[in-house]
Amino acid sequence: MVAAAVPSYVSNGAGNFANCPPGHRFNLYFPIWREGDWQLDKNGKLAALRQCTQLGSAAEPLHALRQRQQAQIQALPEAVCFVMEARSTAPFATGLGLEHPVENGFAFLSPYGLPYLAGSGVKGVLRSAARELAAMGDEDINQAVIKTLFGHEEDRNARRGALTCWDVFPAPGKDRELLTVEIMTPHFTDYFQNKGTPHDAGKPNPIPFLAVAAGSEFRFVVTCEPALLNEFVSFDRWQLLLTKIMARAFDWLGFGAKTSVGYGAMEEDPVAKTQRENELKAVQEAEHQKTEQQERDRKLSELSPAMRAAQEFLDARADKNQPELSALLGGLKKAVWAGNVRSEIAHHVKQLMIKNKKWKEKSEKKNPAKDNDHQDTLTVMKCL
């Protein structure tokens, strides 16, 4: 008979802890000790681990944590927040180096007893992915960009990075359990412990350990502090750079432990990816329009009052239904912007007047009230 090693006034029957969060069952109430001599039951590791795979009472706190994160995301401006919804394509393991009776630990968030991926771990993987891209000669990622985004401690000018990575709380996928039991089987234990040479007669040693099941949902959240950006990373580019870095981390690195043998692999949710790309495109488009408007205002301020009036008129007169007129106005617009001599501008006005006369004759036959092109010409000439 095995039980959890707890005081007698605490019910130490394994079944009585079935509704506890998995982290509590794994760390506090792990049922692997033989009653009587309280020695480790080496043959009971797998059965004890399977009792830790159910969420139990932790389902509600997990939902609340993810909801609170979502509320914080919505409270932030879209331009400073990067969100990537993903799912694991392989089991995810973390904290295997922690001490535990089954030899491999697992990282649970205290006091909730929930599995999680620390934000510091996310940032470390992203930094490694950025360094790989820089080493490969990526035109957008270099050491200056990496230092700006992730910070550095190389000298007395050490500084924190502009990015902050949030903790990640995995949630069970559709019709799946959140946690599962995996098995690693070293075949050359004596060799790795310097007790002999590797040979086929060695006895395999199956070792069970806890992991987050493949198909679980992960939400990666990264925020940016604009004040910490510089000439190497502009505010309208940090999300594009992070998207490229995340893609490298997903495709080649993975998160958590045992990534070299395929654990911790992720893929972005297709629906969420399309939505995020559309949102990012809208933000970038707004930034682009703002930049263009600032540049236009700057150029207008440098024009003479007459040139400025002509330019503003031409911008307002754009007509998609009259491509030939629009082409003539476009030529005049370029001449105005270039500050060309009055004679060249007059040439464009003359061509416009000729066309206006023809359009006026055709228009008067159909609907005289709709023809205003000759008035446009007069307005331009007055401005010049």
Which residues are registered as beta bridge partners of 83? 221
Q: Is the pLDDT of residue 313 over 50?
A: yes
Using a 10 angstrom Cβ sphere, with 0-12 exposed, 13-18 middle and 19 or more buried, the burial of residue 97 is exposed
pLDDT at 334: 60
What is the C-alpha separation between 123 and 169, in angstroms, rounded?
15
CB 93 within 8 A of CB 265: no
Domains of the chain, residue spans: 56-268, 303-383
Weakest-pLDDT range from 7-21, 274-288, 291-305? 7-21
pLDDT band of residue 143 (cuts 50, 70, 90) is very high
Indicate the SS3 state at residue 70: helix
pLDDT in tens, 349-361: 556 555 555 555 5
pLDDT in tens, 164-178: 999 999 999 988 899
What is the C-alpha separation between 375 and 384, in angstroms, rounded?
14
Using a 10 angstrom Cβ sphere, with 0-12 exposed, 13-18 middle and 19 or more buried, the burial of residue 295 is exposed
pLDDT at 336: 54
pLDDT at 371: 46
pLDDT at 193: 83
b/e per residue, 321-351, with b = 16+ CB within 10 A? eeeebeebbebbbebbbeeeeeeebeebbee
pLDDT in tens, 55-114: 988 999 999 999 999 999 999 998 899 999 999 999 999 999 999 999 899 999 999 999
CB 239 within 8 A of CB 246: no
pLDDT in tens, 222-242: 999 999 999 999 998 999 999
How many helices and strands (H and E) does the chain possess?
A: 12, 12
pLDDT at 316: 59
